[in-house]
Amino acid sequence: MGILSKKTAFVASILACLIANLEAKAIPKPWLNKNLPEEKRVELLLKEMTLEEKIYQLNQLVKGSDKNENNVNMWYKSQKINPLNGSYLYASQSPEMRNAIQKMAIEQTRLGIPIIFGYDVIHGLKVISPMPLGQGASFNLDLVEQASATAAKESQRMGLDWTFAPMVDIAFDPRWGRIAEGYGEDPYITSRFGEATVYGLQGRNPLKDLPRPDKIGACLKHFVAYGASEGGRDYNFTAVTRNDLFNFYLPPFKAGVDAGAVTLMSAFNDLSGVPTSANYFTETEILRNQWGFDGFIVSDWGSVVQLINQGYAKNRSQAAKLALEAGTDMDMVDKVYIENLEKLVQNNELDVKVIDESVKRILRIKFRLGLFDNPYVKIYPKEERYYAKEDLAIARKLAEESFVLLENNNNTLPLKAKNIKTIALIGPAADDAVTMLGPWRGHAEPNKTPTLKDALEKQFADNIKIIYQKGCDYKKRNLNLDTEKLAEADVTIVCIGENGKPSSENNSRSGIYLEGDQNKLIQEVKKHSKKVVSLLFTARPLELETIKKNSDALMVTWYPGSEGANAIINVLFGKVAPSGKLTATFPRYVGQVPIHYNRRNCARTGGQGNYRDASTKPLYSFGTGKSYTTFKYSNLKLSNNEVSKGEKITATVTVTNTGNIDAKEAVIWYITDPYATITRPRKEVKFFEKKLVKAQESITYSFEIDPIKSFGYYDDNGKLILDKGEIILQVGNQKAKIMCK
């Protein structure tokens, strides 16, 4: 292009912007009247929109460098800005650039419809909390809500309006890498933690709390049954019965919708023959018609075009039609709506009313988040945006309460600093900040995250010698250990597990063993050490029999986050007693999977049907978790041992701390329905509560029982039913029978 042509093009672009500005100012915009009801504002705006403007609202592109390694080699790059687009997956860290893009949408388009900016903030943006599987193990809803509020605040200060979290998929198979992103294998627990995350991100009443400058929109994902992928293989087919769908996989989504989550994300999986990104039954009949959800659904990354790979759509045009008609309102990154919807309408293959409904849902949430009234984010000084001391303190507390003590032979823990002169610190996770942060670590800065080696050397610089050896890598067969140095140490701390990659998207494994020479490492350490404390860094259950046999103490620390190292030291040295409990069963070996606690009964008793060549009992059951003290459960009482629909009764139990250390105890209430119209799991969690119980003191925990909520279950059509008959209530070693009349 010549110089004159370039000048001509430049002048033309300036003129186009000026004309767009003049047109935008000339159009009356009654939908900007803040005093009008939300729905009226949506209707007024929709009425003015052209078909092209509507279709662009259904489109999400990418701005910035997406750090998800599973998307790096796909066709997209950071895409060219079009201010008509409804959304951007905003991977940049610049709120200034975000505001500049938003200004283009407000000032350079005919109607000035703001863009909604979203990003994956799974367990923090800068301040990182433990992986969600670890958060579930904390049994502390308040801390999870506070940590999610931190994530919302930091995200908003980076320029985000919306995050693709929480993930509330139920997963029973630890081979599936994304088990890390959920809260475990129990629907009730996942429901409560999903709620807590939504509350932290959006506020407890989004219709009143939104918009707020420190809150962003939540997105429940992945809708639905994605965690049931065959063999734990990501993106694969899931075969789920209607009964399991309603009783295991849907309840956490229903809880999130009831908590006010403004969006959902469709999933990658083919659900019993109909892919979830084009599943009218789940997206429209259940979510919208039964539950009354009024927000919008965004597809997962490229999941609309992937309907072709799944054999459900023959081309991009049909994929777009099937997904939109099913209820997937916004297409993430693959442009199939932009390319095909207008032509489908023109050919009378798609009713424009379907487009209108999706556009209304997206506009509704943009109004609800305040984007029309306050389209720009406040620009804070850089030092005020992230890593606030109070936010790091929340992350540390949550990490402390997430750790699960599995073994503590001869009271190896807590360690007593006054009796220790030398610590041997061994293993690939001992000096690795990335492992501390784990996968999906937002925009965290590893150089601001202390490793365990850093934290130990800083805290005990004057009185304890730290001898560090990596020992081996995570995966390589490269054991390299100076065993003579181990003999010098009073205690050896071994840090093993998986690095941040394996427990995440597209990281399915055929086995759940520790890779490389890590098992050999622990065996060698045990031979030459006085005491061995093993710390397991992971976000999935792993095979741990070798580790168990060669450890005096064993604690799961998950990927503990920005303050993980300091939290570990606080627990190891007894400043805080461990109080985490497993929300996912740890098998002895992968051949036992599925081995979740809430399975149904076998047809024959007495061990028939069990494996002939190995145990059928897990290594560590759901709910396992030791403390530095002991708790005694006693005096389970019912306000009435009979209950009818519409009534409530109260169950109480006394918990006594029989040791000499103050500690928190998470009390988990289970029920068993021995005989039901549709068979029920062996036992199910129906309530939990965590409290501090001081040494030698007793406190009372209570559970208010609503028979429909506590004992009811869904039939194959999603109808909530309540059988008459006996229910067994269990808490700790205490049991009681309740007659449901």
Closest CA to 55 of 265, 376, 365, 346: 346
Query: What is the distance of C-alpha 621 from the center of its chain?
Result: 22
In angstroms, the CA 602 to CA 258 distance is: 35
What is the residue type of 165?
A
pTM reported for the whole predicted model: 0.94
Is residue 451 a contact partner of residue 493, using CB atoms and an 8 Å limit?
no
What pLDDT is recorded for position 19? 53
Beta bridge partners of 700: 654
From 66, 120, 169, 300, active-site residue: 300
| Side-chain-side CA neighbours of residue 263 (13 Å) | 32
**Known catalytic residue at 142:** no
The tokens describing 150, both together, are 């931190």
The tokens describing 131, both together, are 């992986």
Beta bridge partners of 90: 63
Is residue 211 a contact partner of residue 157, using CB atoms and an 8 Å limit?
no
Residue stretches of the chain with pLDDT short of 70: 1-26, 65-79, 500-502
Strand, helix or coil for residue 347: coil
Closest CA to 169 of 123, 229, 112, 217: 229
Task: Using DSSP bridges, classify how beta strands 270-271 and 274-275 pair: parallel, antiparallel or unpaired.
Answer: antiparallel
DSSP state letters, 634-653: EEEEES-SEE-TT--EEEEE
What pLDDT is recorded for position 378? 96
Closest CA to 513 of 397, 440, 619, 612: 619
Q: Which domains does the chain have, with CATH numbers?
A: 33-382 (3.20.20.300), 403-592 (3.40.50.1700), 631-740 (2.60.40.10)
